[in-house]
């Protein structure tokens, strides 16, 4: 078992005058030489990104950063009101909500893409099988459908264009087109590939494993939450939220106040 | 009071076919057009960054991302072992430790720089006053000193070089040099400007308010923690940490086991 | 410095057949023998509680458990909607808001009580000094005033009755009466001793240090949040909150949707 | 769908002079009248506990509170060192680790007990089927086995005794005995019913649904973490942990320091 290997890490080390992060000298080779996005990619994948890798990771991080008053943003704003002493605590409260309800779809799409692109029965048959499987179990299929953006989520074609322009192979973009057709057929109506679905596609194009995709979403969203805390301080809405919800959500217990 | 203004937000909005983040069209003007760092700056400062802004924010985010087995990284690794169901929860557990003990120094340095650059008695007198004030109260002065990097933290001059090459005014770099001389005199020995101190200097150069600096640190560190979770899964050390600490930290209660 | 002492803990130890928590045998002396409240007191104070200790800690834990749709409860409910995979993450998101904005008042009251009961110039003079000090700095004085419960918070006299019936010395209950009179005079109107203020008083009566009081609040509130998650699952309101806030909090950026 | 019902809550309400929690007057009927454990049960189950309910919930909360330097406790201690400004943040960091790796076993045991006690093919057949199912899929069966407490976890029989003395029906205690025999047969060796497994049994006896059991564990553990923060302040071990792990977990990257 892996846990019996001697403990070690390849993350970073330092002495009085040098800091290594992974296999690079932080001061001489990284600071001022590469962007945050390159550094994040390098740290995660342990190789320097190609221009395509950078373009795609940037596009993903830009897409996910800010979505307005999401559950995460509301949680962060209420928390900084109640506990102004902990900036990071308010961020953490919001980040806890970057969960399966929202970004889980990214992981599900990525897993489905892996399944259909490696299936023995071929892409089309596998796409139909997967789409029908979700349909039969009356589940939403991850990465498809959107409550607001209809008929199509405008972010998805843009993300695919960025990926194509960056020169990716297009294997997963093609696969998702096949899956999309199978989904529309199985569900009997058109379901858009949503942005988190599209993100799973292009992150798959550059080899990001599905099981770290949620971490990328957390990083991007964390930047958005810094903006929410700043706006909350400049023009607070948390006191309104707290007071207003008390008004519109009545107490419905059997006992009444005297 | 600010809280009595009608509630509003300037973060984002959308309709079926368009998404605005701040005052930009996400699909047409942001995705594929700007980097994560530019987007973060724009979101936070509500203006597109200059090349100097980008260079400095990138340098800061690269510097802070990864420091090896920090308290944050250990907390994240132990948490993903105990609660593998929540990637974001493990990240949040680590981010909670991005606190005053570590990054508080950034805020303190930024506040001191503001004080000495706006003091009526002039930069030098103010620097001496501030340095002596911390010395007299037997406190460490924020942003100075480092347990490992002696005599000087190698990251700081590199960060200042990046800032100068990017073309900042240099007002705060000059101010910190004056403060540094005053610190050495007040404390009777050389204390390096450490990396978090240096970061406060160059973030001040591009107008980042001291009270969001911690948020920038959280964002950068969040990227590092994704890498820790990935390494933890590939080659776990949390089980070793848990078992080993039990061995080396004895139970010292009065009652003994039968 | 304390950190140079050899590492040790007095919390717990075990072997194959015995578990010690502090200095008690968990199986033979604790489980089935004492209540949660007694165990919590014993664990925290390292002595078994007197009946007065138990009565007061129970009263405090009962008082703080549930306050309806607080910022904490809203954060927890939004988080369990977004990340249903992590019960503990949703609780943690809510607990992060048990901060200085709300329970900080408990700590502040406890510190003021310590100051006035140990002051060289005597209780009355010290109470006036403390009350006037807060008034002069235009700060709210911790533990006084309540937005809803006027003229007096009904929980406070009940908490004091519980403490008196339990047989405490009454030293802090008397001190807060003196402080209360000084506060009314300094602020020029009657400010009730609020529930968190009253809690600080009776926890001081049983020797709980001010710097763990927040932890007691977190424990009590954590129980309340379990109830919120249960109700949220049975009859969700988080989807309403999310949708409704979007309606009532408009986007006020300069750019308009096309 | 439930979400389309008008929003409401039955948690709490108040006016100037009265506070209702659920259907009770907080001041007149709860504070000073019932214990924390009773209040928690009432809040969660919406009925006042019987003596058996109280005895069992107390036994569970006492059992889970403290286990020494668990991953949770280590995370909390490292976090309070790095971010001393946020007591609740340090607790939240630790509570995030009360996850499937540890308490998930409670939920799994409770689900298995429900399955075998309601199976059409009868208790014995169902127990064999469930035990064999886990064995065949090479999974640990939730609630059985312990790395230290062998051959049997001493907490479990004590918990069952408490439940029996409290006068529960014993339905689940009998069921787990049947399951235990089936487990030993399927796995070919004796596996103890561990404490979390035993807790699932007795919480099932008093009708606690499996999907809030984790919340009970979080509440109990939160009390333990308050004690850890207190000990950490009085005699810190986090600095040792941080420094020591750096020593014993080597950097194993390919690049070496100059």
Tell me if C102 sits within 8 A of C109, measured CB to CB.
Answer: no
Q: Is the preceding peptide bond at B29 cis, omega within 30 degrees of 0?
A: no
Q: Mark the ranges of chain A whose per-residue pLDDT is less than 50.
A: 1-2
pLDDT score at D247: 94
Burial of C247 (0-12, 13-18, 19+ CB in 10 A): exposed
Contact C240 D159 (CB under 8 A): no
Summary mean pLDDT of chain B = 96
Q: Tell me, rounded to whole angstroms, the distance of Cα C46 from its chain centroid.
A: 20
A contacts of B155 (beta carbons < 8 Å): 19, 26-27, 31
Q: Sorting pLDDT into bands at 50, 70 and 90, what band is C241?
A: very high
Summary mean pLDDT of chain C = 96
Q: Could you report how far apart the first and last alpha carbons of chain D are, in Å?
A: 64
Q: Does A194 touch chain B (CB under 8 A)?
A: no
pLDDT score at D1: 42
Spatial distance between the Cα atoms of A17 and A15, rounded to a whole number of angstroms? 6
pLDDT score at C249: 97
Helix (H) / strand (E) element for D13: namely strand D12-14
Contact D17 C91 (CB under 8 A): no
Q: Could you report how far apart the first and last alpha carbons of chain C are, in Å?
A: 64
**pLDDT higher than threshold 70 for residue D2:** no
Q: Does C68 touch chain A (CB under 8 A)?
A: yes
**pLDDT tens digits along D199-242:** 999 999 999 999 999 999 999 999 999 999 999 999 999 999 99
**pLDDT higher than threshold 90 for residue B2:** no
Q: Could you report how far apart the first and last alpha carbons of chain B are, in Å?
A: 64
**pLDDT tens digits along C48-83:** 999 999 999 999 999 999 999 999 999 999 999 999
Contact D18 A248 (CB under 8 A): no
Contact A149 B17 (CB under 8 A): yes
Could you tell me the two tokens for C187?
Answer: 């602020």
A contacts of B91 (beta carbons < 8 Å): 95, 215, 218
Tell me if C24 sits within 8 A of D66, measured CB to CB.
Answer: no
**pLDDT tens digits along D116-164:** 999 999 999 999 999 999 999 999 999 999 999 999 999 999 999 999 9
Q: How far is CA A61 from CA A57, A58, A116, D61, D119, in A?
A: 6, 5, 26, 43, 49
Q: Tell me, rounded to whole angstroms, the distance of Cα B34 from its chain centroid.
A: 23
Q: Sorting pLDDT into bands at 50, 70 and 90, what band is D103?
A: confident
Tell me if B73 sits within 8 A of B225, measured CB to CB.
Answer: yes
**pLDDT tens digits along C148-193:** 999 999 999 999 999 999 999 999 999 999 999 999 999 999 999 9
Q: Does A46 touch chain D (CB under 8 A)?
A: no
Please name the chains neighbouring A, where neighbouring means 3+ C-beta pairs under 8 angstroms. Answer: B, C, D
Spatial distance between the Cα atoms of B119 and B126, rounded to a whole number of angstroms? 6
Q: Could you report how far apart the first and last alpha carbons of chain A are, in Å?
A: 64
Contact C23 B255 (CB under 8 A): yes
Of B8, B24, B249, the CB nearest to C7: B249
Q: Does B98 touch chain D (CB under 8 A)?
A: yes
Spatial distance between the Cα atoms of D237 and D240, rounded to a whole number of angstroms? 5
**pLDDT tens digits along C9-23:** 999 999 999 999 999
The ipTM (two decimal places) reads: 0.96
Tell me if B110 sits within 8 A of B213, measured CB to CB.
Answer: yes
Spatial distance between the Cα atoms of D38 and B17, rounded to a whole number of angstroms? 53
D contacts of A12 (beta carbons < 8 Å): 251
**pLDDT higher than threshold 60 for residue D3:** no
A144 DSSP assignment: B
Q: Is the preceding peptide bond at C170 cis, omega within 30 degrees of 0?
A: no
Q: Which of C64, C222, A102 is nearest to D12 (CA)?
A: C64
pLDDT score at A102: 79
SS3 B34: coil
A contacts of C100 (beta carbons < 8 Å): 83-85
**Nearest chain B Cα distance for residue A78, angstroms:** 13
Spatial distance between the Cα atoms of C162 and C56, rounded to a whole number of angstroms? 7
Helix (H) / strand (E) element for D20: namely strand D19-21
Mean pLDDT score, B202-229: 98
Mean pLDDT score, D58-68: 97
Total residue length of chain A? 258
Q: What is the pTM of this model?
A: 0.97
Spatial distance between the Cα atoms of B92 and C75, rounded to a whole number of angstroms? 15
C contacts of A81 (beta carbons < 8 Å): 71, 97, 101
C149-152: long-range pairs with CB below 8 Å, 24+: C149/C192, C149/C194, C149/D14, C149/D16, C149/D17, C150/C192, C150/D16, C151/C190, C151/C192, C152/C192, C152/C193
**pLDDT higher than threshold 90 for residue B3:** no
Question: Which residues, including other chains, have CB under 8 Å from residue D168's CB and lie 6 or more apart?
Answer: D52, D56, D202, D205, D206
Could you tell me the two tokens for B90?
Answer: 């493990």
SS3 D68: coil
Contact D95 C95 (CB under 8 A): yes
pLDDT score at B89: 98
Could you tell me the two tokens for B256?
Answer: 């003994």
pLDDT score at A78: 98
Q: What is the dihedral angle through the alpha carbons of B73, B76, B77, B79, rounded to the nearest 10 degrees?
A: 160
pLDDT score at C104: 87
Tell me if A86 sits within 8 A of C99, measured CB to CB.
Answer: yes
Q: Which of C73, A81, A87 is nearest to B2 (CA)?
A: A81
Q: Sorting pLDDT into bands at 50, 70 and 90, what band is C101?
A: confident
Q: Does B239 touch chain D (CB under 8 A)?
A: no
Could you tell me the two tokens for B34?
Answer: 């700007």
Of B7, B10, B254, the CB nearest to C248: B7
Q: Does B7 touch chain C (CB under 8 A)?
A: yes
Chain B to chain D, count of Cβ pairs less than 8 Å apart? 128
Q: Does A257 touch chain C (CB under 8 A)?
A: no
B contacts of C248 (beta carbons < 8 Å): 7
Tell me if B45 sits within 8 A of B207, measured CB to CB.
Answer: yes
Spatial distance between the Cα atoms of A13 and B221, rounded to a whole number of angstroms? 16
Could you tell me the two tokens for B217?
Answer: 């640190």
């Amino acid at each position: 078992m892996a846990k019996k290997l001697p403990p070690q890490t390849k993350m970073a080390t330092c002495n009085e005058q040098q800091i290594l992060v992974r296999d690079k000298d932080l001061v001489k080779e990284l600071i001022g030489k590469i962007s945050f996005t390159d550094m994040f990619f390098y740290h995660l994948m342990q190789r320097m990104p190609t221009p395509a890798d950078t373009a795609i990771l940037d596009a993903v991080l830009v897409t996910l950063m800010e979505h307005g008053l999401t559950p995460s943003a509301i949680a962060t704003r209420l928390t900084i009101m109640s506990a102004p002493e902990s900036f990071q605590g308010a961020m953490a409260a919001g980040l806890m909500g970057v969960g399966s309800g929202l970004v889980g779809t990214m992981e599900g799409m990525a897993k489905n893409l892996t399944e259909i692109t490696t299936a023995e029965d071929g892409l089309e048959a596998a796409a139909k099988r997967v789409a029908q499987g979700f349909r039969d179990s009356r589940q939403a299929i991850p990465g498809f459908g959107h409550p607001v953006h209809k008929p199509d989520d405008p972010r998805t074609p843009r993300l695919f264009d960025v990926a194509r322009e960056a020169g990716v192979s297009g294997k997963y973009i093609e696969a998702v087109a096949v899956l999309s057709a199978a989904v529309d057929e199985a569900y009997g109506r058109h379901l858009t590939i949503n942005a988190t679905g599209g993100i799973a596609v292009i992150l798959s194009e550059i080899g990001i494993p599905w099981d770290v995709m949620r971490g990328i979403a957390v990083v991007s969203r964390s930047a958005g939450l810094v903006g929410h805390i700043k706006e909350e301080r400049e023009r607070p809405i948390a006191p309104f939220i707290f007071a207003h919800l008390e008004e519109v959500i009545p107490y419905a217990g059997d006992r009444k106040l005297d």
